[in-house]
Amino acid sequence: MLKLGVNIDHVATLREARYRGQQGQSRGEPSPVDAAIAAEAAGAHGITAHLREDRRHILDADIAALRKAVNVRFNFELANTAEMVRIALRTKPEIVCLVPEKREEVTTEGGLDVAGQLPTLKRTCKKMAKAGIEVSLFINPDAKQVDASARSGAQFIELHTGQFGEHFGNARTRQRELNRLIAAAEHAHSLGLRVNAGHGLNYENLTTLHAVPHLEELNIGHCIISHAVSVGLPRAVKEMLRLMKGYRG
């Protein structure tokens, strides 16, 4: 069964739009923890949160509170920096997803250059393994990055579906991006990697992604949180789960 990890970063984005810069423990609405609890109750198989270096949405206190509140798989997204690795080892999520991070970007733009940073990623994978934390590497659907991921010690890759999402409106380029994802998923599976996917997925493009084999989990944020503004989070999560049900692997 294809699993859904709900990324709740944008609940914090909305909160920080009002409360950013305010010191102290008490913060206003909406609460990422309440959202995580609601998503879990609606059937989400995992909760994902990204602690960015600039703390623009999720804050350190959110990560600690989410760790306590989340009963399904907690997927902690982070850049491979000494500070974030320290926080992850202290938090002990079930899994970390290592992502590239640039200050200027609105959201995570490209995949991780695993091939170019293999020694440092290997060190982080080793530390996580020692702490009983699985590792996923967020990569573009590219054979070189898949090959490097298989040598890193990570159990999972998360295929970056952003280009697929961006090209969805054009039949020719959509198929090209879909083919890249299919090839990368097959290649990763053949090397013993487990395969997740995420970024830019939505209610419109989701079923087309069913053509990609070997997927275990999708991490989806923006469209679910946005749809929840109109229909509520439980319904937004359930509608996504319904679309994912037809996946045959």
List interacting residues with ligand PXP (CB under 6 A). Answer: 7, 9, 50, 77, 97, 99, 107-108, 138, 158, 198-201, 219-223
| Calpha distance 244→218 (Å, rounded) | 9
Spot the catalytic one: 10, 160, 187, 199: 199
Choosing from 10, 16, 45, 50, the catalytic residue is 50
**Smallest gap, in angstroms, from Cβ of residue 211 to ligand PXP?**
19
Q: Which of 159, 163, 155, 162 is nearest to 134 (CA)?
A: 155
Q: Judged by CB, which is closer to ligand PXP: 14, or 26?
A: 14
- Nearer to ligand PXP by Cβ, of 25 and 188: the residue is 188
Cβ atoms 112, 100 nearer than 8 A: yes
Give the other-Cβ count within 10 Å of 213's Cβ: 14
Q: For residue 187, indicate whether it is catalytic.
A: no
The single residue of 16, 40, 77, 217 carrying the catalytic annotation is: 77
User: Phi, psi (5° rounding) for residue 157?
Assistant: -115, 150
Active site residue 50: yes
CB of 128 to ligand PXP, least distance (A): 16
77 belongs to the catalytic site: yes
DSSP 204-235: TTTGGGGGSTTEEEEEE-HHHHHHHHHH-HHH
Residues recognised as catalytic: 50, 77, 199
